[in-house]
Amino acid sequence: MEYRRLGRTELDVSVISQGCGGPSRLGQNTGVDQYGINELVRCGIESGINLFDTAAAYGSSEEILGSALKPFPRDDFLLATKFSYNDKGGLPNDIVGVDQVRKSLDQSLKKLQTDYIDVYQIHGLQLAHVDVVCNQLVPELERQKQAGKIRFIGVTELWGRDGDHRALLNCIPCGRFDTAMVGYNLLNSSADDALFDMCIEHDLGVLIMFAVRRSLSDIGHRRKLFADLARNGYIDEQVVEVDDPLSWILDHGVASITEAGYRFAMQPRAVSTVLTGTSNTEHLNSNLCAAGAGPLSESAVAEIRSRFGHIKHSLEN
C-alpha cells in the first residue's frame, strides 16, 4: 500500500481508503450483514487501508463502521465523518445552528464508539452557503477541535449540483479547512483546471470521491451516460455508436475501465487518497490491485484530458 501526506494535517493516509456511502452504504443497500462488513473492514486494514470515511447522513453507516472497527486499536486507523448543515437544501437562513453541530458531533462519536474524529467534515457545501457556513459554523468546529473531539476540519462538495467546484473554489481561500473532498474522475477532471492548484497552495489534504461509479464500471450505464453527454453537446454523437465508448483506454495497458478509473484518480500530485465505496471484499481486493498498478501512463492521461477535459457536467452516479 502506498501512503501519502494528507496535506497540512501531516497524517499519512493510504492511497485507497474505504468510503461508507455510495450506492452500497456499507452494505445497507446490498444485503451485506454486520459480519460481512466486519470481514470487509478487517480485509481493508490487513491490506493497509487506514482511513474510513462515513457520514451522519448515510443511514446506519456510522454504527456499522463503529462495530466493525471495535476490535482494532484506535491508533491503527483514521476516522472521517460528516455532518449535514442544511438537510432541506434551502436558503442560507435555513442552516442549522451551532447547537445542532455539537449534537451531531456527539451522536457521531457515540455511534462510532470513539472519543475523537480525525477529520470532521462539512457535508455537501453549496456555493450560496459558503459565507454563512464559514462565519457561523466553522468557529464552532474550531472550538470542538480545541476541546479534543475532532483533530482536523474538512469540507466536501455537493458534486451532483456543482460539477465545476464553485463552492470549494470560494471556501478554501478562507484558510480554515484542513481537507477537501472532491468529485473527480476520467470523465470530469475539471478539478485539474484550478482546484487542485488551490489545494496545493493552501496545503489541503484531498480526498477523491466518485472516482468510479456505475457510469464507469458498468457498460450499460456507460452507454447511457455517453448518450446523455452527446445529447447535451458534450461529446460527438458518433462516439455513442461504439459498442463501448471507453474501450480505447484498454490500449494503454490497463485491465479494465474500473482499473483505469482508480489509476487516473490517484494521478494528480494534489491527491492524498481515493475513496472506494464497495461492501464486497472481492471487489475491494480488485480495487486495491488496481491502485497497486500505480498511476496511468502520461500518454493515457493526455488522451483522457484531450477527449474529456472540457467536461464540467456533474457525473455523480
What integer pLDDT is reported at residue 88 of this predicted model? 59
Helix (H) or strand (E) holding 111, with range, is helix 98-112
Contact 159, 193 (CB under 8 A): no
Question: Looking at domain 3-308, which of 3.30.70.890, 3.30.1330.60, 3.40.50.150, 3.20.20.100 is its CATH number?
Answer: 3.20.20.100
pLDDT greater than 60 at residue 155 = yes
Contacts of 314 (CB under 8 A, 6+ apart): 159, 160, 161, 162, 163, 183, 188
Q: Can 184 be counted among the known catalytic residues?
A: no
C-alpha cell at 272: 492524498
Q: What is the DSSP code string of 257-289? A: HHHHHHHHHT-STTEEEEEE----HHHHHHHHH
Domain-by-domain residue ranges, the chain? 3-308
Contact 19, 275 (CB under 8 A): yes
Question: How much is the mean pLDDT over the chain?
Answer: 93
Contacts of 198 (CB under 8 A, 6+ apart): 168, 169, 172, 173
Dist CA 259 CA 272 (whole Å): 18
Dist CA 160 CA 2 (whole Å): 29
Q: Residues 177-222: pLDDT tens digits?
A: 999 999 999 999 999 999 999 999 999 999 999 999 777 888 888 8
Q: Residues 247-291: pLDDT tens digits?
A: 999 999 999 999 999 999 999 999 999 999 899 999 999 999 998
> For 289, phi and psi rounded to 5 degrees?
-65, -40
- Name the active-site residue from 3, 35, 58, 234: 58
Dihedral sign, Cα of residue 129, residue 134, residue 140, residue 141: positive
Q: Give the chain's largest Cα–Cα span.
A: 58
- The closest alpha carbon to 134, from 85, 88, 94, belongs to 85
pTM of the model: 0.95
- The closest alpha carbon to 204, from 212, 195, 213, belongs to 195
